[in-house]
Amino acid sequence: MRRKASLVLLAFAVFFAAMAPMLRWYAFPRLAKVPPSQYQDMVLEAKPATLLDYNDNMKVKQVPKVTVVQTLKGNVEESRRIERTAGRDVVVWDALAYIVDDKGRMVSRLPERYIFDAHTQDPVHATGEMVDGDPVRRGGIEFKWPFLVEKRDYQYFDAQARTTAPIHYEGTRTFRGLEVYYFEQTIPWTKVPMPKTMPIPGVTPDVIAKSGMERWYTTKRMYWVDPVTGAPVNGEEIHKEELRNASKMGLPQDTMTVFAGHVKIREDYLQHTVDLVKSQRLQVLLMVSYLPWTFAVLAVLLLALALWLEARSRRPQDPPRPVPEPTPAAV
């Protein structure tokens, strides 16, 4: 009976010993992925900010705040279409950054279509990949880091400049109770395209291009990233845009600030993001740490118990006690 029990325990030990690395190295890379239907929005603010007021004779003003409403919407239909030819799980995000001034008037809008691998977050190049209607070919990541972030620099795509540049790992920080990796990227002054949608009726990028006026941009981008899920829990930008050769359009200065400010996530959205990441990281940790280590410990304990029972079954039994002979009855 003990030998049968030890064999059963040994079988369970082998099962859990096999499951531990399989869950971490086989199941996790296949199961952990960004859902194609994900939707999220974010509100960011620059308080105060410098802004070119298109509605007041193109004057540069200091305003109380500028608001950026950013949305990411998963396009499931496009994901399925691209997956049929790509042969892998693909996510398509239709993104929009919509910027308004302190009076709620549109300053600019920047639509994007970002196509990437659902498991690794590597870019997938397909028809429809664009920024503001311009076809692009992304290199590196955007919006989200891969699962299990490494302590190293990554290539990060800048939508304004339509280029990819390193975003540098600057160390480990603690942000609202989470241990996060801090990254920085600085885009030097770069000539960038004019937005397709302008706040002035009748003014188009072609009209501005013919005048010789140019739009230049620089930013310092900062992200606090959860190393488990790869999701940023906070993001900030010190952002500045200028119009150069502006006097060719009859403006009073040759170089005029279009927008300058320190853009931060609004507090209510920041707390919601932190809470969401905390819940998502538990699901990832179950597959990469908690369950594999639990299975490994169970395998060791079951193996030890099986060996103990096997040793007990092989122990020599005590010799039988002698049966006393019956005493003859007296005559």
pLDDT of residue 54: 77
The band of 185, judged by pLDDT with boundaries at 50, 70 and 90, is very high
For residue 226, pLDDT beyond 50: yes
Share above pLDDT 70 across residues of the chain, in percent, rounded to a whole number: 94
291-306 average pLDDT score: 89
Look at the chain and count its residues.
331
pLDDT at 59 over 90: no
Which pLDDT value is given to residue 9?
81
pLDDT at position 331 is 46
Least confident span in 89-98, 185-194, 316-325: 316-325
End-to-end C-alpha distance for the chain, whole angstroms: 51
Residue reference for tokens 């990233």: 225
Instruction: Calculate mean pLDDT across residues 214-223.
Output: 95
The full DSSP string for 148-214 is S--SS-EEEEETTTTEEEEEEEEEEEEETTEEEEEEEEEEEEEEEPPPSS-SSTT--HHHHHHHT-E
Q: How many angstroms separate the CA atoms of 223 and 181, rounded? A: 8
The pair phi, psi for residue 196, each rounded to 5°, is: -65, -35
Asked if the peptide bond before residue 319 counts as cis, ω within 30 degrees of 0, the response is no
Alpha-carbon span 173 to 75, nearest angstrom: 34
- Is residue 62 scored above 90 in pLDDT? yes
What is the C-alpha to C-alpha distance for residues 221 and 264, in angstroms, rounded to an integer?
Answer: 11
pTM here is: 0.87
Tokens of 295: 């299975």
pLDDT at 145: 96
pLDDT at 317: 56
Say which range, 131-145, 157-171, 308-322, has the weakest mean pLDDT: 308-322
Q: What is the Cα–Cα distance from 37 to 20, expressed in whole angstroms?
A: 31
Is the per-residue pLDDT at 35 higher than 90? Answer: yes
Higher pLDDT, 7 or 133: 133
- Note every long-range contact of 311-319, with CB atoms under 8 Å and residues 24 or more positions apart, other chains counting: 312/2, 313/2, 313/3, 313/6
- Give mean pLDDT, residues 136-155: 95
- pLDDT category, 321, cuts 50, 70, 90? low
> Which residues in 231-283 belong to E strands, given as ranges?
232-244, 255-265
**Residue 257 and residue 217: Cα distance in Å, rounded?**
10
**What's the CA angle centered on 323, arms 319 and 326, to 5 degrees?**
170
Q: Compute CA 84 distance to the chain's CA centroid, rounded to the nearest angstrom.
A: 25
pLDDT for res 1: 58
Residue 27 vs residue 331, higher pLDDT: 27
Of 314, 276, 309, 295, the C-alpha closest to 41 is 276
For 258-288, the pLDDT digits (tens) are 999 999 999 999 999 999 999 899 889 998 9
Which of 42, 171, 44, 20 is CA-nearest to residue 95? 42
SS3 content of the chain, % helix, strand, coil (to 5): 30, 40, 30
Q: For residues 43 and 271, is the Cβ–Cβ distance under 8 A?
A: no
Which pLDDT score is estimated for 202?
72
Handedness of CA 127, 132, 138, 142 (dihedral sign): negative
CA–CA distance, 197 with 54 (Å, rounded to integer)? 13
Looking at residue 16, its pLDDT comes to 87
Q: Is the peptide bond before 48 cis (omega within 30 degrees of 0)?
A: yes
Q: How confident is the model at residue 151 (pLDDT cuts 50, 70, 90)?
A: very high
Under the banding of pLDDT at 50, 70 and 90, the label for residue 213 is confident
- Worst-scoring range by mean pLDDT, 51-55, 194-198, 225-229? 51-55
Mean of pLDDT values over 22-44: 91
d(CA 126, CA 115): 7
User: Would you list the domain boundaries of the chain?
Assistant: 32-265
Neighbours of 218 (CB within 10 A): 18
125-136 pLDDT, tens digit each: 999 999 999 999
